């Protein structure tokens, strides 16, 4: 039995959706542990494209139990829209999905708070997805949030909602927000949505622990990437949840002792959406070329993703924080046409090499990346699914990343489709998946 966490090793959009979809074949349960509909996980199955936001990508495998854990924040309207779209595409969402009774609920006024905060003239905007994610987590931590268990209990909802609405009304007045909320109308809409969601809400911590007791395997699907983790990421340019591997335990109620491995998904280069530091960013024709070749536009907001070269110190840092057993390197094919491929191998600040990740934007902005260049392979790797079939220079590039990060590359992705992937037979990843005998 192995319960594994899959999460982003960079700033998100590493290809987690594709990877979870691929691996979920071997798991009975896939569980999301943090984030909300700020996530956009794209999965291609043949001609069909799915973009999953709140629902774990595992739902696309018939029979796999999909769990939204307590660490997730839920906009019921967004969730119902996603359920309806997937059901229209023939997915048995209601037969597979369970939603934690302890997950917190996003309301329209959370988006109002976010607009006020992001738009303040004295504040550098984070460049959020404007989904109300941060303000909902604020209410959770401030102990005034409304949870799914409250949403589906008409009596609790009435009392808690009145108090939260009053709180937000006060905030709106204090900030001179002109927008008038129809608080009664919102409550009525949420009651109607609660009626539809009630059958799916349960104690998912118990469900997951019982599943383990029955010998089932759980795959934890991280949203965002480690550098967007509220504690370990590039604060304050982060999301408001624990995206790193430790969040899997907190966000589902599965003890750390029941988690057996952690897999980091990383692009063969790097991207970021939104504001904040990015040492290897190429805000130039080279970055533009990566964006074009990799079709790097946000799956949720459609914003162009900022692009840059693979960053070894960053991977060493996220590897340390998460304890990656194996890396899954995606989008190798995007580098196919390049003559030379720079890789950042060290950070220097003021002429001195630094071997830890600075904590502040000011310090990160001082980083001068040290690059080594590797020769490109100049031929297509698209769809290759055997290590032996990769061009020698592509193998050298991957071995270089492995050697410099100190983390095994157990899986390589060469296209968006399930079969455009290789899992290396003697890897720790294969062992964790009980595929190999390494
Ligand atoms: P996620 O948020 O980590 O799930 O990633 P996104 O879905 O936001 O972005 C990753 C994009 O890259 C998606 O459009 C995927 O279909 C695509 N993708 C994943 N792996 C590969 C790959 O190996 N090669 C190429 N060309 N595209 C890939
Ligand atoms: P997936 O799961 C990339 C970024 C936003 C912004 C910051 C805070 O697809 O990898 P938020 O709305 O969460 O308060 O915004 O985090 N961000 C993501 N960037 N991929 C994501 O998800 C992201 N989710 C949030 O762009 O910079
Ligand atoms: Mg994404």
- Verify that 171 and 140 share a domain, yes or no: yes
d(CA 154, CA 276) in angstroms, rounded, equals 42
32 Cβ partners below 8 Å, 6+ apart? 54, 55, 56, 67, 68, 69, 72, 220, 221, 223, 251
Q: Which of 22-26, 138-142, 166-170 has the lowest mean pLDDT?
A: 166-170
CB 107 within 8 A of CB 131: no
Q: Is 25 helix (H, G, I), strand (E, B) or coil?
A: helix
- Verify that 330 and 221 share a domain, yes or no: yes
Q: Alpha carbon of 31 to those of 192, 243, 249, 419: distances in Å?
A: 26, 13, 11, 23
Report which bound ligand comes closest to the CA of 11. 2
The pLDDT confidence band at residue 228, using thresholds 50, 70 and 90, is very high
CB 133 within 8 A of CB 240: yes
301-350 pLDDT per residue, tens: 889 999 999 999 999 999 999 999 999 999 999 999 999 999 999 999 98
Of 199, 234, 253, the residue that ends a domain is 199
143 Cβ partners below 8 Å, 6+ apart? none
Distance (Å) from CA 184 to ligand 3 centroid: 34
Find where tokens 């890396």 sit: 327
The pLDDT confidence band at residue 123, using thresholds 50, 70 and 90, is confident
- Verify that 186 and 243 share a domain, yes or no: no
CB 34 within 8 A of CB 233: no
Q: How far is CA 21 from the centre of its chain?
A: 14
What is the tally of structural domains in the chain?
2
Distance (Å) from CA 132 to ligand 2 centroid: 12
d(CA 60, CA 116) in angstroms, rounded, equals 37
- Is 13 noted as a catalytic residue in this protein? yes
Q: Which of 38, 51, 225 to mutate to test the pocket of ligand 2 (most atoms within 8 A of CB)?
A: 38
Distance (Å) from CA 438 to ligand 2 centroid: 36
Report whether residue 243 contacts ligand 2, using a CB cutoff of 6 Å: no
Nearest CA to ligand 1 atom 20: 416
The pLDDT confidence band at residue 276, using thresholds 50, 70 and 90, is very high
Average pLDDT on 208-219 reads 97
Average pLDDT on 90-104 reads 98
- Verify that 224 and 324 share a domain, yes or no: yes
- Verify that 81 and 120 share a domain, yes or no: no
Report which bound ligand comes closest to the CA of 243. 2
Q: Output the domain CATH number for residue 184.
A: 1.10.300.10
d(CA 292, CA 203) in angstroms, rounded, equals 44
Atom of ligand 1 nearest to the CA of 299: 8
Provide the whole-model pTM: 0.96
- Verify that 148 and 286 share a domain, yes or no: no
The pLDDT confidence band at residue 27, using thresholds 50, 70 and 90, is very high
Report whether residue 270 contacts ligand 2, using a CB cutoff of 6 Å: no
289-304 pLDDT per residue, tens: 999 999 999 888 889 9
Distance (Å) from CA 360 to ligand 1 centroid: 29
Report whether residue 136 contacts ligand 2, using a CB cutoff of 6 Å: no
Average pLDDT on 72-76 reads 98
**191-225: string of b/e by CB count within 10 Å (b at 16+)?**
eebbeebeebbebbbebbbebbeeeebbbbbbbbb
The pLDDT confidence band at residue 31, using thresholds 50, 70 and 90, is very high
Average pLDDT on 262-283 reads 97
- Verify that 133 and 262 share a domain, yes or no: no
- Verify that 194 and 251 share a domain, yes or no: no
- Verify that 59 and 194 share a domain, yes or no: no
Q: What is the pLDDT of residue 436?
A: 39
Report which bound ligand comes closest to the CA of 381. 1
Average pLDDT on 229-247 reads 97
Share of the chain above pLDDT 70, in %: 99
Q: Looking at 323-434, list the stretches that DSSP marks H as alpha helix, in order from N- to C-terminal side.
A: 361-365, 392-405, 428-432
Distance (Å) from CA 44 to ligand 1 centroid: 9
Of 156, 172, 199, the residue that ends a domain is 199
Per-residue pLDDT at 435 exceeds 60: no
Q: What is the pLDDT of residue 122?
A: 84
Catalytic residue, candidates 37, 41, 104, 232: 41
Q: Output the domain CATH number for residue 12.
A: 3.40.440.10
d(CA 227, CA 74) in angstroms, rounded, equals 22
Q: What is the DSSP letter of 304?
A: B
Find where tokens 């600040």 sit: 349
Of 171, 199, 227, the residue that ends a domain is 199
- Verify that 259 and 330 share a domain, yes or no: yes
- Is 325 noted as a catalytic residue in this protein? no
Average pLDDT on 61-82 reads 98
Query: Residue 188 belongs to what domain range?
Result: 104-199
- Verify that 167 and 247 share a domain, yes or no: no
Atom of ligand 1 nearest to the CA of 414: 23
Find where tokens 């949203």 sit: 223
d(CA 24, CA 7) in angstroms, rounded, equals 14
Ligand 1 pocket residues where CB is under 6 Å = 8, 12-18, 40-42, 44, 299, 330-331, 333-334, 413-416
Per-residue pLDDT at 1 exceeds 70: no
d(CA 3, CA 272) in angstroms, rounded, equals 29
Average pLDDT on 352-361 reads 90
Average pLDDT on 49-54 reads 96
- Verify that 186 and 252 share a domain, yes or no: no
CB 294 within 8 A of CB 332: no
Q: What is the pLDDT of residue 413?
A: 98
22 Cβ partners below 8 Å, 6+ apart? 418, 421
């Amino acid at each position: 039995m192995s319960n594994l966490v899959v999460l982003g090793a960079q700033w998100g959009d590493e290809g987690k959706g594709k990877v979870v979809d691929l691996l979920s074949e071997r798991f009975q349960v896939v569980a999301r542990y943090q984030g909300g509909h700020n996530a956009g996980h794209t999965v291609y199955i043949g001609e069909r494209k799915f973009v999953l936001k709140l629902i774990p990508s595992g739902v696309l495998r018939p029979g796999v139990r999909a769990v939204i854990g307590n660490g997730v924040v839920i906009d019921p309207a967004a969730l119902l829209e996603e359920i309806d779209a997937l059901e229209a595409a023939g997915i048995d969402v209601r037969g597979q999905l369970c939603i934690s009774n302890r997950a917190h609920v996003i309301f329209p006024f959370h988006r109002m708070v976010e607009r006020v905060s992001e738009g303040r003239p004295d504040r550098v905007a984070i460049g959020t997805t404007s989904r109300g994610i941060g303000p909902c987590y604020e209410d959770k931590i401030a102990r005034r949030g409304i949870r799914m268990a409250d949403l589906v209990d008409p009596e609790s909802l009435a009392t808690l909602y009145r108090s939260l609405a009053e709180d937000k009304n006060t905030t709106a007045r204090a900030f001179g927000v002109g927008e008038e909320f129809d608080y009664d109308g919102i409550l009525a809409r949420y009651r109607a949505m609660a009626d539809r969601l009630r059958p799916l809400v349960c104690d998912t911590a118990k469900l997951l622990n019982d599943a383990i007791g029955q010998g089932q395997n759980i795959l934890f699907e991280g949203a965002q990437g480690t550098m967007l983790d509220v504690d370990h990421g590039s604060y304050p340019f982060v999301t408001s949840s624990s995206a790193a591997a430790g969040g899997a335990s907190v966000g589902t109620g599965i003890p750390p002792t029941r988690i057996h491995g952690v897999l980091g998904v990383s692009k063969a280069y790097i991207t970021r959406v939104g504001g904040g530091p990015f040492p290897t960013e190429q805000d130039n024709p080279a970055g533009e070329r990566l964006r074009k070749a990799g079709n790097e536009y946000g799956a949720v907001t459609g914003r162009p993703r900022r692009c840059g070269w693979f960053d070894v110190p960053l991977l060493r840092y996220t590897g340390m924080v998460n304890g990656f057993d194996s890396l899954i390197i995606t989008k190798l094919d995007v580098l196919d046409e390049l003559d030379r491929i720079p890789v950042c191998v060290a950070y220097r600040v003021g002429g001195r090499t630094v071997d830890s990740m600075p904590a502040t934007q000011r310090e990160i902005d001082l980083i001068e990346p040290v690059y080594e260049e590797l020769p490109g392979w100049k031929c297509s790797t698209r769809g290759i699914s055997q290590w032996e079939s990769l061009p020698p220079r592509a193998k050298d590039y991957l071995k270089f990343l492995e050697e410099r990060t100190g983390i095994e590359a157990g899986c390589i992705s060469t296209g968006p489709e399930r079969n455009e992937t290789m899992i290396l037979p003697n890897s720790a990843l294969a062992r964790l998946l009980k595929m190999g005998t390494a």
